Amino acid sequence: INQNLNIFEPPVVEYLSNIDRDLHLKKSLNAIDSIKDMNVLFIGETIIDEYQYAKPMGKSAKENIISSAHVGREVFAGGVIAAANHVADFVKKVDIITILGEREPYLNLVNDTLRDNVNINTLWRSGMPTIRKCRYVDPGHMKKMFEVYHFDDTPLFGKIEDQLSEMIHDRANNYDLVIVTDFGHGMFTQKSIDHLQTNSKFLAVNAQSNSANLGYNLITKYKKSDFICIDAPEARLAMSDRYTDLGDLIESKLSKSISCKNFIVTHGERGCVTWSEKLGANNVPAFTSQVVDTVGAGDALLSVTSPIVAAGNDIDIAGFIGNTVGALKVGIVGHRKSVEKIPVQKYLTTLLK
Mean per-residue pLDDT, 193-205? 98
Burial class (CB in 10 A: 0-12, 13-18, 19+), 138: middle
How far is Cα 191 from Cα 173, in angstroms, rounded to an integer?
17
Separation in Å, CA 47 to CA 98, 226, 291, 305, 317: 10, 25, 22, 22, 30
Three-state secondary structure string covering the chain: CCCCCCCCCHHHHHHHHCCCHHHHHHHHHHHHHCCCCCEEEEEECEEEEEEEEEEEEEECCCCCCEEEEEEEEEEEEEEHHHHHHHHHCCCCEEEEEEEEECCECCHHHHHHHCCCCEEEEEEEECCCECEEEEEEEECCCCEEEEEEEECCCCCCCHHHHHHHHHHHHHHHHHCCEEEEEECCCCCCCHHHHHHHHHHCCCEEEEECCCCCCCCCCCHHHCCECCEEEEEHHHHHHHHCCCCCCHHHHHHHHHHHHCECCEEEEECHHHCEEEEECCCEEEEECCCCCCCCCCCCHHHHHHHHHHHHHHCCCCHHHHHHHHHHHHHHHCCCCCCCCCCCHHHHHHHHHHHHC
Asked if pLDDT for residue 7 goes beyond 80, the answer is: no
- Quick one: pLDDT band at residue 2, thresholds 50, 70, 90? low
CA 137 to chain centroid, in Å, comes to: 22
* Amino acid at the residue 284: V
- Quick one: pLDDT band at residue 212, thresholds 50, 70, 90? very high
Digit-coded pLDDT (tens) for 145-181: 999 999 999 999 999 999 999 999 999 999 999 999 9
Digit-coded pLDDT (tens) for 292-319: 999 999 999 999 999 999 999 999 999 9
Beta 280-284 vs 272-276: how paired, if at all?
antiparallel
How far is Cα 313 from Cα 291, in angstroms, rounded to an integer?
29
Asked if pLDDT for residue 6 goes beyond 80, the answer is: no
Residues in the chain: 353
CA angle 58, 62, 63 (to 5 degrees): 70
Digit-coded pLDDT (tens) for 107-139: 999 999 999 999 999 999 999 999 999 999 999
- HSE-CB at 326 with a 13 A cutoff on CA atoms is 29
- Quick one: pLDDT band at residue 67, thresholds 50, 70, 90? very high
